[in-house]
Amino acid sequence: MAPVNCTNGAMVGCVAALSLSLATLSYFFYIQQRTFKHPKSKPQKPICSKTYGSGIVGAIGNTPLIRINSLSDATGCEILGKAEFLNPGGSVKDRIAVKIIEEALASGQLAPGGVVIEGSAGSTAISLATVAPAYGCKCHVVIPDDVAIEKSQILEALGATVERVRPVSITHRDHFVNVARRRASEANEQALKHRETSQTPNKDREQTTGEIPEEQEKNLKFSRDCTGGFFADQFENLANFRAHYEGTGPEIWEQTEGKLHAFVAAAGTGGTVAGASQFLKEKSANIKCFLIDPPGSGLFNRVTKGVMYSKEEAEGKRLRNPFDTITEGIGINRLTQNFMMARLDGAFRGTDKEAVEMSRYLLKKDGIFLGSSSAMNCVGAVRVAQALGPGHTIVTILCDNGMRHLSRFYKAEYLSQLGLTPSATALEFLGLP
């Protein structure tokens, strides 16, 4: 066979063809690398689509479900975390903020120009402050003064009005939730009075009130153009439950292709664990749903014994209100309308030490930087894995990241004062090597 004689033109063609082949091959390996899955992970269908409004609201929900490799390898189960910290407002509470505001607007309880008012330990307030402007509303938050300071700083940066109060029992009139409820009533009274006086001539208005409009404005608790207040009431408002029944639960079902054995989460308002468990149980009665409860909370005994009290209450050792735990946003000593919607098969008790150790372990082993409630949820996931045994798929909620917990949960001096300095080298704090 005669040798191929490449002319200059042919040589250029050969080089071009070779370059194109190499480029195609490189692209193939690039795509393979991008779509690589962990050997133990299961293929997933595309996440279910959901129709939201435009802008930031449209970015809420449909969060990834990620395999927590270190916990999965240690337990022999597939432990998956719903990465809710990737919502625009940084937490799972973005979901309920949207649902609460949209339902309030639809019912006429809230109007554009109104103020959404909530008593919150932090994350719900941040989510409300994040999305309220998208609906033409403002946000007023009443927050306990013992929560991490960065939460109130974030709220103020978002433009919310922040009112800090001392932590007291829910039965006290000055509990942050009760104060928020009063503020909503005050906003509605102010809006009503403004509408009435705006229809009265200035002269008559001065004779009636003894004040001119400028002097009245100095005494206003809310802006003059406020159209009224709406108390979000995250603990009792079932829009909270519906946000997870209609969103979080279906997403978990689709992302696992229905091949999950258990779901576990802690409860504060109870909306997440209730909405997700209710939906998943309706899809398959074989899915086991569990609660993980922090110290001082009465929900563990409610689920396991049918009686609402905490160990601290029973022993007369309660240290402070509302409950004795370093974790924020979870644990409660009353039944909420949202929690009563939950369908649970059992409960586990977690400790502050376990939550602290878990947060540092996941940061070191997986590079996952979690907040206190998320760390407690992962403690719960391991407890469920130990109870069920290897070979099961367990889903939990990664509520928020650690950025809102720097001044308490991630502060060495603070933890040292409470005897919670992390020291574990592995998962020995949960009885695993």
Model confidence pLDDT, tens digit, residues 198-245: 766 655 545 544 454 555 555 567 887 788 999 999 999 999 999 999
**Structural domain harbouring 202:** 93-231
pLDDT > 80? residue 36:
no
Per-residue confidence (pLDDT) for residue 225, from 0 to 100 = 79
Per-residue confidence (pLDDT) for residue 203, from 0 to 100 = 52
**Residues 264 and 366 placed together within one structural domain of the fold:** yes
* DSSP helix, strand, coil percent of the chain (3-state; round to 5): 45, 10, 40
In a domain, residue 311? The reply is yes
Looking at the chain, the whole-number percentage of residues with pLDDT higher than 70 is 79
* CATH number of the domain encompassing residue 150: 3.40.50.1100
**Residues 179 and 273 placed together within one structural domain of the fold:** no
pLDDT > 90? residue 85:
yes
The number of distinct structural domains making up the chain is 2
- State the residue for tokens 């991630």: 410
**The pair of three-digit structure tokens given for residue 407, joined into one six-digit string:** 């001044």
Distances from the Cα of 167 to the Cα of 229, 259, 306, angstroms: 23, 43, 27
Per-residue confidence (pLDDT) for residue 20, from 0 to 100 = 37
Enter the pTM of the model: 0.82
What is the average pLDDT across 396-406? 95
**Residues 117 and 77 placed together within one structural domain of the fold:** no
pLDDT > 70? residue 30:
no
Per-residue confidence (pLDDT) for residue 16, from 0 to 100 = 41
312-331 in b/e form (b: 16+ CB < 10 A) is bbeeeebeebbbbbbbbbbb
Instruction: Categorize the per-residue pLDDT at 313 as very low, low, confident or very high, splitting at 50, 70 and 90.
Output: low
Instruction: Categorize the per-residue pLDDT at 95 as very low, low, confident or very high, splitting at 50, 70 and 90.
Output: very high
